[in-house]
Structure 1
């Protein structure tokens, strides 16, 4: 597995994830439709053209999921027990179809689990940036991570 075990994380550790992803109109329409979010700002180009953005916005929950998903290969692939929560989620700039996203991660803290002796909790801070290096999303995420097998 390419994910890291609890013991391999340390506060201040940083990752510049190699994956990039160009968001498509289909991503936005499919995600919004599958999650029953019928907001015309995501689905109706005519409606969105009349807004301050001038075109459809990518659904922010798609952006959040993409941001976290793009971190998995370097950090938690096969070594996570579960996500415990996400806080401080923000979308400071809009994402549009055609934007290419890349992600950076910083480890904020690590601590032993009180209830699971073979796991620990890692708090990450993720940043999604567009092709102009503008932050388009950020969040803190706590993950319950496996310790290295004995």
Structure 2
């Protein structure tokens, strides 16, 4: 896994990354996530209930959408991360439904070197997710602590 991800020096402010992975959300994905996270709200699991609600069909759990998009971005953003320091400004812009296919893109907004350790730096990145109709469904920002090429054993 030494070649997985990028070092801090390989990023630049303004970089735009179209993540190659996409994911079609299956009913089983949503159901399993509901079970694992104990989210049993009927809007996520009860088709008959949903028919009487605003969207008329099951909504995918927002935290599943968020988790999938973070995962889609790992190879390009946090593959060499030491830690995700924070997630902020998580915005669900449009609903996601079973059968939707999601893609993501990220932009490097800011970079700074660590004040205490020379072998790492922090990138501030915004990630946006879209469905198959190119509708924006999610935006979030995060600070990621990333290894520098120097001072590591990775080659």
Instruction: Judge same fold: TM > 0.5, yes or no.
Output: yes
Are 2:72 and 1:108 aligned? Answer: no
Alignment partners' CA distance in 2, 1:115 and 1:29: 44
1:34 positional shift? 0.4
- For 1:145, the equivalent position in structure 2 comes to 146
Measured against aligned partners, the alpha-carbon deviations of 1:89-108 in whole angstroms (never above 9, x if no partner) come to 00110000000001000001
Alignment of 1:70 with 2:79, yes or no, is no
TM-score (normalised: structure 2): 0.93
Instruction: Give the number of equivalent residue pairs.
Output: 149
Contact 1:83 1:143 survives alignment (8 Å): yes
The SS at the match of 2:76 is: helix
2:143 & 2:50 partners in 1: Cα distance?
A: 35
CA distance in 1 between counterparts of 2:61 and 2:101 reads 15
What does 1:127-142 correspond to in 2, within 5 Å? 127-142=128-143
1:117 Cα shift? Answer: 2.0
Normalised by the size of structure 1, how large is the TM-score?
0.96
The match for 2:12 is 10
Unaligned runs of 5+ in 1: none
Instruction: Please provide the CA RMSD for this pair.
Output: 0.9
Q: Matches of 1:110 and 1:56 in 2, distance apart?
A: 39
